[in-house]
């Protein structure tokens, strides 16, 4: 297990808003039309490229396929990850890793270009849930600082080269006002696990480069870390929610 402690961080008492300098990055717009898949706000999807799977795979996973569409001449299956969790509950009471296991076993079939906007949206937190306890620890770093440390932790030269897979996770924590990144080989229920595809989706879907000077704010909240990114007149907030396996 590798750990890295970010150098630029501080503690705040509470958060109301983040001010930022004007930058040229665009406001969040999805690179893929996520309205193509019929879903509810409770659902959580990942896109599978149909040409990469067998007929037997489709039969085994048919109950999880919520919708399908064709993008750039490729047939895409939208997998409802919540359905995988619900299906596990019909046979077991221990399902905390059911979705992460499925993602790990099937990430060779995932179309990440189509999935990135779905992943980013699944992690986004509504404004009503962003109230923090008093004395919440916070750390503020630029996009460049955070992703530079992430690259160093993973021994990669660029964010683009960070692998799209679900057999590695990053745990975030704030220790004495300092943000700490720890590499985990697998998802587990005792750490605040953030997948590599999710961390990459933050850059892609917010139209940011890994060298951006825009500030990111990390706030401790009940066994998790909220990530906030200012976008012009709004602040987008992300979390893994109460069950990380349901939100990639």
Give the structural domain span for 165: 2-30+125-247
For the four alpha carbons of 216, 220, 222 and 225, in that order, the dihedral sign comes to: positive
Residues 214, 129: one domain?
A: yes
Reply yes or no on whether the pLDDT at 128 is more than 60: no
Which pLDDT does position 134 carry in this prediction?
Answer: 62
Q: Report the number of distinct structural domains present in the chain.
A: 2
Q: Tell me the pLDDT band of 141, cut-offs 50, 70 and 90.
A: very high
Residue 200 has pLDDT above 80, yes or no: yes
Q: Could you say which of 123, 138, 156 is where a domain stops?
A: 123
- Mean residue pLDDT across the chain: 80
Residues 237 and 136 in one domain: yes
4 with 152: CB under 8 angstroms?
A: yes
Residues 155 and 238 in one domain: yes
- The C-alpha atoms of residue 23 and residue 16 are separated, in whole angstroms, by 21
**Are 72 and 91 found together in one domain?**
yes
Together in a domain, 180 and 57: no
Question: Are residues 216 and 106 both part of a single domain?
Answer: no
Among residues 61, 94, 123, the one where a domain terminates is 123
pLDDT digits 0-9 by tens, 52-85: 999 999 999 999 999 999 999 999 999 999 999 9
Q: In this predicted structure, what is the pLDDT of residue 105?
A: 96
Lowest-confidence pick of 52-56, 79-83, 144-148, 235-239: 235-239
Check whether residue 140 and residue 46 sit in a common domain: no
Task: For residues 231 and 241, state if they share a domain.
Answer: yes
Q: Quick one: 130 and 14 in the same domain?
A: yes
pTM: 0.80
Residues 101 and 56 in one domain: yes
Domain edge (last residue) among 123, 146, 162 = 123
Residues 167 and 73 in one domain: no
Selection from 81, 76, 86, 84 nearest residue 110 by Cα? 76
Q: Are residues 135 and 189 in the same domain?
A: yes
Q: How far is CA 123 from CA 51, 166, 238, 239, in A?
A: 28, 16, 5, 5
Contact between 224 and 243 under an 8 Å Cβ cutoff? The reply is no
Which tens digits make up the pLDDT trace of 161-180?
999 999 999 999 998 888 99
């Amino acid at each position: 297990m590798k750990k890295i402690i970010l150098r630029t961080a501080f503690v705040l008492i509470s958060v109301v808003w983040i001010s930022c300098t004007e930058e040229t990055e665009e406001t969040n717009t999805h690179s893929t039309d996520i309205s193509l898949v019929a879903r509810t706000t409770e659902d959580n999807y990942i896109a599978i490229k149909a040409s990469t799977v067998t007929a037997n795979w489709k039969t085994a996973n048919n109950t999880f396929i919520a919708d399908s569409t064709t993008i750039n001449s490729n047939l895409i299956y939208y997998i409802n990850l919540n359905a995988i969790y619900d299906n596990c509950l019909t046979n077991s009471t221990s399902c905390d890793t059911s979705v992460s296991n499925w993602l790990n076993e099937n990430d060779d079939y995932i179309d990440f270009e189509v999935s990135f906007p779905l992943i980013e949206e699944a992690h986004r937190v509504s404004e009503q849930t962003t109230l923090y306890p008093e004395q919440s620890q916070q750390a503020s770093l630029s996009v460049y600082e955070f992703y530079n440390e992430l690259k160093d932790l993973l021994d990669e030269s660029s964010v683009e080269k960070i692998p799209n897979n679900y057999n590695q996770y990053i745990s975030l924590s704030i220790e004495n006002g300092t943000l700490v990144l720890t590499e985990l080989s697998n998802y587990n229920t005792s750490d605040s696990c953030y997948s590599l595809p999710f961390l990459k989706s933050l850059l892609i879907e917010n139209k940011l480069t890994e060298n951006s000077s825009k500030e990111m704010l990390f706030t401790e909240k009940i066994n998790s870390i909220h990530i906030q990114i200012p976008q012009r007149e709004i602040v987008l907030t992300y979390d893994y929610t109460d069950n990380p396996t349901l939100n990639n």
